[in-house]
Amino acid sequence: MRSETGFDPYLYQRFPTQEERPPEEEEGLRRIWCAPKGWEYLTVVNNNYVGIFYLGTAFLFFLLAGVLALLMRVQLAAPLMEVLPQATYNQVFTMHGTVMMFLFAVPMVEAAGVLLLPQMLAARDLPFPRLSAYAFWAYAVGGLAFFASLFVGLAPDGGWFMYPPYTSKAYSPGINADFWLLGIGFIEISAIAGAIEIIVGVLRTRAPGMSLDKMPIFAWAMLVFAVMIIIAFPSVILATLLLEIERAFNWSFFDAARGGDPVLWQHLFWFFGHPEVYIIFLPAAGMMSMIIPTVARTELVGYRLIVLAMIATGFISFGVWAHHMFTVGLPPMTTGFFSAASMAVSLPAGIQVFSWIATLAIGRPRFNAPGLFVLGSIVIFVTGGLTGVMVALVPFDWQAHDTYFIVAHLHYVLIGGMVFPLFAAMYYWIPMVSSRAMSERLAKWVFGLMFTGMNVAFMPMHLAGLMGMPRRVYTYLPGSGWDMLNLISTVGAFLFAFGVLLFLIDLARNFRMAPGGGNAGNVYGAGSLEWLPTELYSTRSIPVVKSREPLWDDPKISDDVEQGRYFLPRSATGLRETIVTSPLLAEPQYVQIMPGPSVWPLVAAIFTAFFFLALTVQAYMFGLASGVITVMAMLRWLSETDRPIAQDEVDIGAGIMVPTYMTGPRSHGWWAMVILMIVMAMISAMAMFGLAFLWSNQPGFWTPPASLGGGIPIALGYGLVVAAAVSCRWLHRMGKNWAVAPVLLAGLAAPLLTWLDIRMWSAVLAPDASGQGAAVFAILSLQGTVAAIGVLFAAYLGWRSLRGLITPTGNSTLDLACLFIGYCGAQGLVGTIFTRAVGA
């Protein structure tokens, strides 16, 4: 086989090694990856802990949002009930949707990735453990505070979709809507942090030899999931920013009377909102594809087709957002191809379902707890998929849209496509982290109640919808013919809840966390790497992967791994470390030094949450202070990284030497920065789309933009920033230490250019004058924010440079600063020209 990086695959044949390993190696690993004690649980960054905390918190939100659902079902059990008053009901249904989507579903699958991926890939941890910890704490603190808004009657009531103008200041004057906009703000940050972690983890920290075609299917799912987050979330980040700015400063993005357009929100929201459904579904489908082969005791049929289906979903789900908008009055040509894409996106789902059926067909399936839940999932998900095809047809959607038919459809898809797989996954993987497995006997009851309850609750809603019952109604009138159906739904909801309650009882009886070994082990007889014997450092040694189910194909592998007969059977540098491999064929490239426990991610996370909450309750000084503390904490955390390492090269087993440090495009830091740049570029692109959209939909409000000629010097200035960043990185690698200086200058110059641009535009337009003004100044404000972060980068780079931490070989910080400052210049260049070109 040809090599990707120049690594000779012939070297893999040296493993498993034969000689005895010295016993102090294992001691060393234990010491370096030691378990936390007492307060140290708060500063832990290891994925075994963060993953469990993360999952537990997300599951808590599932329960909380489930209670809200039960409250709603009680209110709707009969006409004109007075359990929840109107205003409360509107808050409750908003929170149910918001919490389920943002605080349960996305974090839950992200947490599953954090917990499972390093084990499946046989890495010691994810590449940025502190980032995981930060993402978790920001989410946990912020999420709980956000949920608490319900208890003081300040919860948002605009629906999880928050359509303006209802959510604008004029119709929602309270701070309820701000809770949503800012509350979701930091959850988005947390999701993106997790996504960066997962992409780099999956592509760069796989066990040697685990080429893309041997990667566990869950890792594929998480890869596509994370990429989708990177592309989709910027859109909702921008949307929430714009709406919050409109509410706070009266800029008119969505106010039709002043040249904004409420439909712009719908485009931005659903460009995120529909992929979101697949963002939730894909990891769950990945879990299904891991569990089913084990349940059926055979290998997965159609692995490559499932990979294809996941990639296809990742793309095509970005072409279906307008099917939430078929009743908005879009031109027929537009609804036509959105309808077509909505059909197309059902094909990958079909491929996956038939792959699962095919796997069950050639195997010897067992009806154990995970088995029951995967079967239930297939039945429910297919039903939801079929109603999905129905509503993809525009004329049928004109009738079904915004009725209980949709409520039924989406719950079939999400419960069948995510909740049931998740329960299967919990039964399946709990033995990996707990010293006892769950009860198989109780599981049958849990499954029976949940499956029956689900169908009893949601099947009648199809009919209620066809009978004309709209969604989001806090009550209905007697004589509407909906009474009986709603009563049945309520009964079903409680059956479902009893199933979940039984599960909780089982969890309380049997779940005993055992992250450092001593877990129940491979009770279902699976074949993937997460079932290797592990301790806190993950596996003793990192195996060479030759197939998709190594544990089935090589019965000796567990023993060999445990005896240290594979890669990295010790800590080569005396620090936490893992092997970074190449993205396609997973050839070992270098050893990454990983940061250990730290209090700073926790501090940064808490103050990030405080920052957003303070803005919500308009405690601006406190908010400012929190923001400053957040930035300081992050810099402090950062300053401990990227340190010189004594050994340039280390032996990672069998005499194979790799470097301990890497710069440039092969380093994991570079990858993370590039992904972050994609996020920022997407936000910026969405803002520019907004400007163009308003121009095309509200031409009557357009004024001639600032002159292109006046913008050219600014654009040239931005061009110089890019040039400085690119050339200085190159010069520095050539040994020119002075080359740091121009980068610093460029970083400091960028905000001046933005300031000049703002001055020029202020002479032409005001941000609260029209949609155009608002959109232009939004683009300028984004640029200002990026430039301000660029200044921070420059300052940090300067500090490290003065401390002598930037050397010709150890210059990752310079690399990343150059990337960011270069990006800042590029975005400014495009923005300067684009704002002047639209409607010129």
Partner 1 sequence: MGNNTSLQAALGGWPPAVLDPAGPYAEPVTRLAWALLLGGTGVLLIVLTALAVALWGKPALRTRLGGDRAIWIGGVAFPGVVLTALLVWGLWLTGSLQATAAQPGEMRVKVTGEMWWWRVTYLGERGEPVIRDANELHVPIGQPVLLELESADVLHSFWVPRLAGKMDMIPGRRNLLRIRADRPGTYGGQCAEYCGGAHALMGFVVVAHTPESFARWRAERLAPPRPASGRGPELFLASGCAGCHTVRGTPANGTAGPDLTHVGARRSLGAGILPNNRGTLAGWIADSQTIKPGNRMPNYKQFSPDDLNALADYMESLK
Partner 2 sequence: MKSWLILLGGFIVWTVHFFGLYLIAEFAPSATLVIALTILCIIADLWLLRWLRAMACSEAFAQWRRSVGMAGAVLSLLAVLWQGLPVMLA
Assess 316 for contact with partner 2 (CB under 8 A): yes
User: 316 is in the binding site of which of partner 1, partner 2, none (Cβ under 5 to 8 A by kind)?
Assistant: partner 2
Closest CA to 160 of 272, 4, 3: 272
747: Cβ contacts below 8 Å, ≥ 6 apart: 721, 790, 791, 793, 794, 797, 817, 821, 824
Q: Are 400 and 406 in contact (CB under 8 A)?
A: yes
Distance of closest approach, residue 336 Cβ to partner 2, in angstroms: 3
Indicate which single residue of 211, 368, 754, 770 sits in contact with partner 2 (rule: CB under 8 A).
211
**Among the residues of 297-419, which ranges form H helices?**
303-316, 332-344, 346-362, 369-392, 394-400, 404-414
As given in the structure block, the two tokens for residue 339 are 């309808």
**Among the residues of 707-770, which ranges form H helices?**
708-733, 740-762
* Cα(41)–Cα(49) distance, integer angstroms: 8
Assess 305 for contact with partner 2 (CB under 8 A): yes
Residues between 468 and 487 with contacts to partner 1, criterion CB under 8 A: 468, 470-482
Based on CB atoms, which residue is closest to partner 1, 48 or 359? 359
Assess 340 for contact with partner 2 (CB under 8 A): yes
Based on CB atoms, which residue is closest to partner 2, 248 or 840? 840
Length in residues, the chain: 840
Closest CA to 593 of 670, 662, 664, 676: 662
Assess 315 for contact with partner 2 (CB under 8 A): yes
User: What single letter denotes the amino acid at residue 787?
Assistant: A
* Cα(742)–Cα(374) distance, integer angstroms: 58
* Cα(76)–Cα(83) distance, integer angstroms: 9
Assess 585 for contact with partner 2 (CB under 8 A): yes
Give ∠ CA 392-65-162 in degrees, rounded to 5.
Answer: 55
Chain centroid to CA 66: 22
As given in the structure block, the two tokens for residue 806 are 């930037």
Residues between 694 and 713 with contacts to partner 2, criterion CB under 8 A: 696
* Cα(482)–Cα(77) distance, integer angstroms: 10
Residues between 197 and 256 with contacts to partner 1, criterion CB under 8 A: 256
User: 467 is in the binding site of which of partner 1, partner 2, none (Cβ under 5 to 8 A by kind)?
Assistant: partner 1
Indicate which single residue of 116, 181, 200, 341 sits in contact with partner 2 (rule: CB under 8 A).
341
Distance of closest approach, residue 356 Cβ to partner 1, in angstroms: 9
Assess 328 for contact with partner 2 (CB under 8 A): no
As given in the structure block, the two tokens for residue 689 are 């789309």
631: Cβ contacts below 8 Å, ≥ 6 apart: 792
Assess 507 for contact with partner 2 (CB under 8 A): no
* Cα(375)–Cα(387) distance, integer angstroms: 19
Based on CB atoms, which residue is closest to partner 1, 287 or 300? 300
Q: Helices 369-392 and 404-414 meet at what angle, rounded to 10?
A: 140
Distance of closest approach, residue 183 Cβ to partner 1, in angstroms: 19
Assess 346 for contact with partner 1 (CB under 8 A): yes
User: 700 is in the binding site of which of partner 1, partner 2, none (Cβ under 5 to 8 A by kind)?
Assistant: none
Based on CB atoms, which residue is closest to partner 1, 314 or 747? 314
329: Cβ contacts below 8 Å, ≥ 6 apart: none
User: 399 is in the binding site of which of partner 1, partner 2, none (Cβ under 5 to 8 A by kind)?
Assistant: partner 1
Indicate which single residue of 584, 628, 766, 837 sits in contact with partner 2 (rule: CB under 8 A).
584
Residues between 344 and 363 with contacts to partner 2, criterion CB under 8 A: 344, 347-348
Instruction: Say how many residues touch partner 2, by CB under 8 A.
Output: 34
Dihedral sign of CA atoms 804, 810, 815, 816 in order: negative
Asked if the bond preceding 165 is cis, omega within 30° of 0, the reply is yes
Residues between 67 and 96 with contacts to partner 1, criterion CB under 8 A: 85-87, 90
Assess 332 for contact with partner 2 (CB under 8 A): yes
Assess 261 for contact with partner 1 (CB under 8 A): yes
3-state secondary structure of 81: coil
User: 334 is in the binding site of which of partner 1, partner 2, none (Cβ under 5 to 8 A by kind)?
Assistant: partner 2
Assess 333 for contact with partner 2 (CB under 8 A): yes
What character string, x for contact with partner 1 (CB under 8 A) and - otherwise, covers 146-175?
-----------xxx---x-xx----xx---
Assess 840 for contact with partner 2 (CB under 8 A): no
User: 788 is in the binding site of which of partner 2, partner 1, none (Cβ under 5 to 8 A by kind)?
Assistant: none
| Contacts with partner 2, residue ranges (CB under 8 A) | 1-2, 211-213, 304-305, 307-308, 311-312, 314-316, 318-319, 331-334, 336-337, 339-341, 343-344, 347-348, 584-585, 692-693, 696
